[in-house]
Amino acid sequence: MKSRAKSAKVAKPAKPTLEDQQARMREVLRILDREYPEAECSLSYSDPFQLLVATILSAQCTDERVNKTTPALFAKYPTPQTMARAPLRDLEKLVQPTGFFRSKAKSIQATSKSLMELHNGKVPQSLEALVKLRGVGRKTANVVLGVAYGVPGLVVDTHVGRISRRLDFTRHLDPVKIEHELMEIVPREQWTHYAHLMISHGRAICTARKAYCGSCPISHLCPKIGVPEEQRQATLASSAQAE
């Protein structure tokens, strides 16, 4: 009678501890900080109000396009007071290049009115107050807090979400859940800078269309979650040739 070979059980890799994730995050930040020393907010602005408006306009639009649009807008309506009183049709025409211009024009005007009526024309410095403004979600609020006021805020845009998942720092798709999970892993003083580094890395190497793992300085720290198998194999091949 033939004996049946017992199938070997493959042990699942142990889930990394929070301390392990924090240590790996520190190394990722150290390397990317060296790779992108100029990483910072790419929106052009001269005060917190202009940054707030520019960030609202950046939804579903590139920062480059926003920066080409805002000079004419701010030249004509530089303050919450002037923007609150602007003809809506004029605002729509000025912000049209950023897309969804009717909705965005209404948002920046309504927000300007709220700033005048509720905050003495000043952009508030709390997340709770900012997210009550029209067109302002947690992402926009954290941009303003971190960049304009130096208050740590963890911005989660498409780059941050995509790369954080590839690095296996999160498995979530919801930006709020990603934000809260990363807040436990990223050092608080680095919350704002983390987004700038992820955005720079996402534009240069870890793009949405293709992850250029062979050129990635943190490839050895990355499990490449969600990266197509052919790209993973190409990375392994290039690493073997380098050895």
The H-or-E segment that residue 73 falls in is helix 63-76
Strand partners, 211: 206
- Written as six digits, the tokens of 241 are 């040739």
Any residues with CB less than 8 A from the CB of 234 and at least 6 apart, and which? 213, 214
Catalytic annotation present for 47: no
Catalytic residue among 139, 168, 174, 177: 139
Collapsing DSSP states into helix, strand and coil, what is residue 206?
Answer: strand
| Cα–Cα distance measured from residue 99 to residue 92, given in angstroms and rounded to the nearest whole number | 10
Strand partners, 32: none
The dihedrals phi and psi of 98, each to the nearest 5 degrees, come to -85, -5
- Written as six digits, the tokens of 13 are 């890799």
Catalytic annotation present for 168: no
- Written as six digits, the tokens of 159 are 């780059």
- Written as six digits, the tokens of 67 are 């920066």
Catalytic residue among 93, 106, 113, 157: 157
- Written as six digits, the tokens of 23 are 């240590």
Any residues with CB less than 8 A from the CB of 95 and at least 6 apart, and which? 57, 69, 73, 101, 104, 105, 108
Residues carrying an active site annotation = 139, 157
